[in-house]
A and B are shown apart, each in its own frame.
Chain A
């Protein structure tokens, strides 16, 4: 953006000033532009591009305990896409996204619409409270839910016990999906709500006035005006949530020691990459898994962007 502006200014200068002088001005302005970009560029290169490049380089080698390291080209990728551990992890995060994202969107949109209509001190207080889980670090949040789900410490046993029913164990392998679903929704719905709420606040109120004059009900205003106008924000949230969920790591990793065997080391692709790199001394395959996951994320996001290309213009 900065470079683009600099160039435009430079181009403008070109048309007005004589050629020779123009070039020096343009060169100087270019230099200044680069100077502004410099600090960002340096950090971008050293902390993002370089590590990614190095990981890509690592992923082309195979390391084994006996025989050392050798170049295998795309061999690690071929292995990843036929590795049942990786594939089951990918299928888990995809099915998790398919349930989580609509749920999360519905919850955050409903709350945002409600808070948009209510104007009272209570609404402001609720907004803060609903946002609060996002302010709690993921680690603390996940640990807290781990204890809430716990059979011995949590309230579930007491609540269900009062009705004479056994409490559901959200940390067992059959219910861990829903246990995690709840943790993530709790943590992120508030954040998405704030984004949607901000988008709703940005809508020109005269539209509502006009709608009401035309006899529209509150529901009609919501479905015909508000939701269509915040659609770009919804698309943005969806992309955030999709990328975040496909890279699922923190919550399952933290709940792992609490969830008796329900969360194996290859539960999600990122956890599997972590295990390969940091427990099994195989950072090469770990890197390959990370890149294979990046490819999956890219494909999923692309499919989604393609499907919503008419509505969501914020990212295009």
Chain B
């Protein structure tokens, strides 16, 4: 998938012209990545980057005669968003259904690019998802995506490295995490973790983990936004990581890059703080297949206050119907139907590609008790991810997320190159994002 991302970036460079040809695929099924089974049925176009999308789309197409999905991989994450944004600005070229991470939905909703699904089949599947799952894909009263997967976070670690340096139980608090990192370093061991500038959503989750509430956004009052990025909680987290970085205890490598993955495989990092979908991604990139097979384990994310733990989420996506969809009803049927059948969900969670939000799966003993091969038979869902998902209270996403992430990346890079302390970075970030929000016409509280 890392190589996919690079390709995605390249495709992004080659210009906006590429986007429109995909949109025109509505009538022409030869542009699809997948094979259309029922050629006479109307076609709905879909952009998605799940590693098993092809299988999922085939499952859907085989089961439907009234509609067929034409799937394109328009890049993962940012690469897709740039293309989708261009299509939204241009007013054409967008697919009928688009995969969006939940934190991006308000950005497109405020531009009037997404269709409210409340009257387009929401009622039929309402009970399949928790209230929190629906909240993450809603803006105000409207539902702007069909929830698919979430990213409850845990601490993936190398059992072999922990054993070698005498760490008998995984750190439960951030103080223990720092102490263990120091211990490993003093013994000449590898880095303990990583602080990536290119994953601001991950660092945002770490801020929430200390009880920070960076944003408030009430859609009843669409033009008002609350921004509190330099709270004491945020500063504490950023100063903590700046400390780890400056002492050389953790790396400062960007993630989802060949460089980082090769480091992970090579045992350069003792822990990988990440979400439930990480093993699927790591295995796709070749982790856990060679000399590092069977060395991985997972534990709950460290906490600031163990008596008052805060569960956080990183990533997780939904299928949204775009305003450019020719037949929104049919598109909504696809959005709610793709990746909703048992076979696809099973393929997703068995390979840790997704952490499903569908409650029928979450309650399924087979899912809860699954012994995950990547974690050497550990019951990862039962021990780590299901409790984390159940304790997750949601985050607040805003329409200025895109800019916020870009500004945050800059500040994390400044922390990493030693030019700013965590607190200074938080103050600079606050000033930067407030300025942007005002420019964009928001009233900032």
Q: Are B410 and A264 in contact (CB under 8 A)?
A: yes
- Determine the residue in chain B with the shortest Cβ distance to A150: B259
Residues of A contacting B289 in the complex (Cβ-Cβ under 8 angstroms) = none
* Least distance between A88 CB and chain B CB atoms (Å): 11
The answer to whether A283 has its CB under 8 Å from any CB of chain B is yes
The interface stretch among B9-17, B134-142, B365-373 is B9-17
Q: Which of A223-265 contact B (CB under 8 A)?
A: 250, 253-254, 256-262, 264-265
Given A66, A139, A261, A264, which contacts B441 in the complex, CB threshold below 8 Å?
A: A66
Known contacts A150-B259, A257-B257, A278-B85; is A66 also within 8 Å of B223 by CB?
yes
Of all chain A residues, the one with the shortest Cβ separation from B85 is A281
Is A316 an interface residue when CB atoms closer than 8 A count as contact? Answer: no
Report if B272 contacts A (CB, 8 A): no
Name the contact of B198 in the complex, choosing from A65, A173, A174, A257 (C-beta under 8 A).
Answer: A257
Name which of B256, B263, B441 has the most chain A CB atoms within 10 A of its CB: B441
Nearest chain B CB to A311 CB, angstrom units: 37
Is B163 an interface residue, CB under 8 A from the partner? no
B417 within 8 A of A: yes
Could you tell me if A279 and B85 are in contact, using CB atoms closer than 8 angstroms? yes
How far, in whole Å, are A173 and B111 apart by their CA atoms in the complex? 35
Q: Within 8 Å of chain A (Cβ to Cβ): is B218? A: no
**Are A153 and B440 neighbours in the complex by a CB distance under 8 Å?**
no
Q: Counting CB contacts under 8 A, is B364 at the interface?
A: no
Q: For A264, give its contact among B110, B196, B223, B409 (CB under 8 Å).
A: B409
Docked-complex contact A253 and B252, CB < 8 angstroms: no
Sort chain B's interface into a size bin. 35 or more
Please indicate the chain B residues that have their CB under 8 angstroms from the CB of A172 in the complex: 417
Instruction: Contact check, A260 vs B198: say whether CB atoms are below 8 A apart.
Output: yes
B406 touching A279, Cβ below 8 Å:
yes
Contact with B along A151-193 (1 / 0, CB 8 A): 1110000000000000000001110000000000000000000
A91 part of interface (Cβ distance < 8 Å): no
A167 → chain B closest CB, angstroms: 13
**What is the size, in residues, of chain A's interface with B at 8 Å between Cβ atoms?**
32
> Which chain A residues border B111 with CB–CB below 8 Å?
65, 281
- Pairs A–B under 8 Å by Cβ, sample size 15: A64-B440, A139-B13, A173-B417, A257-B9, A260-B257, A261-B252, A261-B412, A262-B413, A264-B410, A264-B413, A265-B410, A278-B82, A278-B85, A280-B403, A281-B88
List residues of A whose CB falls within 8 A of some B CB.
Answer: 64-67, 139, 143, 147, 150-153, 172-174, 250, 253-254, 256-262, 264-265, 275, 278-281, 283
**B interface residue numbers (CB < 8 A to A):** 5-6, 9-10, 12-13, 16, 78, 81-82, 85-86, 88-89, 110-111, 196-198, 222-223, 252-254, 256-259, 262-263, 266, 399-400, 402-403, 406, 409-410, 412-413, 416-417, 439-442
- Shortest beta-carbon contacts, A-B, top 5: A261-B197, A261-B413, A66-B441, A67-B441, A64-B441
